[in-house]
Chains A and B, each alone.
Chain A
């Protein structure tokens, strides 16, 4: 067992030297909400305005991981330092999870050496993990300038991805009514780029037609016209997709993006702190609250009373 100070120093120095084990360790500290984590962040944090976060979202099985296995190396070849985070859902019953996004990426990761981390949603709704922003901050501070995020596969409008990304790619595939699901779920308003994947499948033309029809019902100012067609087995169309991502990046206001991510995280941390404090107070006051329950007071008035007490104390 190391002492706290030397453990922090090890991780901080490791991250400064881009050691993968240190970067990975810091992400674990964030996930486990270890008290060491804030001390690590305070020492490694740097405002890296070069960092772009690319979200690749879409229904389960539409080909997100397979596409990333092509996009990652291509961005790397363009001179970027690339990292990937892919999220899978945790079981609501046991808290455990099966993290399987590597299956379609492993070969590509081994060839390219790209850093990849599988994350469990750990009970978060919205297809991400509570600690995803912290993971992004760690990676960005460690010098990664392109971070690709694969959220839990979903046909739902998981708008949380908007808070943490600068470019959102929505992936559709034929055969499962994805195009209609996407329309229903409001994915159209989310997308910066649409991809129709699995162009080798027989239904692809019909799927694209259907999807274009739904697109035509979106208010014009929010409409993305372009649909990039890909085959994530052969890689066909993925050059074009990468070009499209790079094009979109050119138009991103990095200052605004940075502000968005920073603001979201500061608020999350503050809420967390308040929640912890509140829980402590509630525990300390549990007898008092119990007494109120027999007083006939309604819950809202009782909560008011509790808050008054807290405010008077601080």
Chain B
């Protein structure tokens, strides 16, 4: 099989699972993120709806992602992230960082940080900020794999 461009160019791209746990009608936002991540050289796994924390964890494991990025606009963030982080711990998953985003009140942000969900950017955050954050978390995650 032919390989095209120099291998170095494609070396070890960051793998991100872009997860959407609820139908909250913001597909467009998700696609904008997906495109931005791809253009930043990442491999973006987009599975459509991942209704349960179990389905998020199972998918993240098969795909061996570095980062799970979850965007939530429907206010259910605390419950979803709590379940997800508990499950990741229970299944002893190592080397996968969780990054959040959406409409998240400031008081919740601190709580989320505490359980390991970082970022938690609101709408209007420059894409470059989100991308830099994901790169940083991916690097940390990889050192724990």
Q: Which residues of A approach B to under 8 Å, CB–CB?
A: 1, 20-21, 24-25, 27-28, 32-33, 90-100, 102-103, 106, 109-110, 113, 115-118, 120, 122-126, 128, 130, 132, 160, 163, 268
Decide: B50 and A32 in contact? CB cutoff 8 A: no
Least CB distance from B58 to A in Å reads 7
Least CB distance from A174 to B in Å reads 25
Least CB distance from B81 to A in Å reads 20
Least CB distance from A272 to B in Å reads 9
Q: List 28 A-B contacts (CB under 8 A).
A: A20-B61, A20-B62, A24-B61, A27-B64, A90-B43, A92-B5, A94-B38, A96-B40, A96-B42, A98-B35, A98-B46, A99-B43, A99-B45, A103-B46, A106-B49, A106-B50, A109-B59, A110-B58, A117-B63, A122-B13, A123-B3, A123-B5, A123-B10, A124-B1, A124-B2, A125-B2, A125-B4, A268-B1
Least CB distance from A265 to B in Å reads 10
Decide: A106 and B48 in contact? CB cutoff 8 A: yes
Decide: A123 and B46 in contact? CB cutoff 8 A: no
B45 CB contact (under 8 Å) in A25, A32, A118, A122: A118
User: Chain A at the B interface: mostly helix, strand, loop or mixed?
Assistant: mixed
List, in ascending order, chain B residues with CB within 8 A of A130's CB: 1, 3
Decide: A97 and B38 in contact? CB cutoff 8 A: yes
Closest to A24 in B: B64
Given contacts A1-B143, A117-B63, contact A126 B1 (CB under 8 A): yes
List, in ascending order, chain A residues with CB within 8 A of B43's CB: 90, 96-97, 99, 118, 120
Least CB distance from A262 to B in Å reads 15
**0/1 string, B35-72, CB within 8 A of A gives 1:** 10111111111111110000100110111100000000
Q: Does B11 have its Cβ within 8 Å of any Cβ on chain A?
A: yes
What are the nearest 5 A-B pairs in CB distance? Answer: A102-B47, A96-B38, A24-B64, A123-B4, A103-B48
Size of the B side of the interface (Cβ < 8 Å), in residues, is 38
Decide: A102 and B34 in contact? CB cutoff 8 A: no
Given contacts A99-B46, A123-B10, contact A163 B59 (CB under 8 A): no
Decide: B62 and A123 in contact? CB cutoff 8 A: no
Q: Does B145 have its Cβ within 8 Å of any Cβ on chain A?
A: yes
Complex Cα gap A118–B49 (Å): 16
Given contacts A103-B48, A124-B3, contact A91 B38 (CB under 8 A): yes
- Beyond A106-B49, A110-B58, A123-B4: 19 further Cβ-contacts under 8 Å? A21-B64, A21-B93, A24-B61, A33-B11, A94-B41, A95-B10, A96-B39, A97-B43, A99-B43, A99-B44, A102-B45, A103-B46, A103-B47, A110-B55, A113-B58, A115-B62, A117-B63, A120-B43, A122-B3
Least CB distance from B79 to A in Å reads 20
Decide: B64 and A95 in contact? CB cutoff 8 A: no
